[in-house]
Amino acid sequence: MKRSRKISLVLLGGLSAGALTSCAPQVEGEPRISPDNVYANNQYVQGAGYYHAPFNAFFPQPYNFFDTNRKLYFYGGQWGPAPHRSVVNVSAPTVAAALAAQAGRLALERSGFGSTGNRHHLWS
């Protein structure tokens, strides 16, 4: 009798895990970030950042952003003395980059849900 009970619990757990995975939350109004999607260079996606097409990933700064204090350009997660040059202006993110960007979008959405303690006002 114990065997059948364990099996039914495992099957029930597997079914619920599958149901939860297929109902994963998404950022409202925007499609899920996927390696099957194509993004333009410097395309901004809320919660993910700016897409750097030559590097197939999202970053917090625009492609070839110039920092006037450092006198350096930002591209592909690094800083350089000159702007990066590439003919790639459209690409798809890697699997790892898509997963990280989607996780960032979900974290951003969750952090704002139901919380009033972290809000800042211009007059405070």
Smallest Cα–Cα separation from 108: which of 48, 59, 49, 47? 47
Please determine, for residue 33, whether its predicted confidence score (pLDDT) is greater than 50: yes
d(C-alpha 96, C-alpha 109), whole Å: 20
Domain boundaries, the chain: 29-111
Q: Which residues contact 67 (CB under 8 A, 6 or more apart)?
A: 73, 74, 79
d(C-alpha 88, C-alpha 29), whole Å: 27
d(C-alpha 49, C-alpha 100), whole Å: 11
Q: Is 27 in a helix, a strand, or coil?
A: coil
- Provide the token pair at 96: 């790892």
Interval 46-95: pLDDT, tens: 999 999 999 999 999 999 999 999 999 999 999 999 999 999 999 999 99
Burial class (CB in 10 A: 0-12, 13-18, 19+), 24: exposed
* Structure confidence at residue 31 (pLDDT): 78
Where residue 105 falls among pLDDT bands split at 50, 70, 90? confident
**Any idea which residue has 């996606």 for tokens?**
45
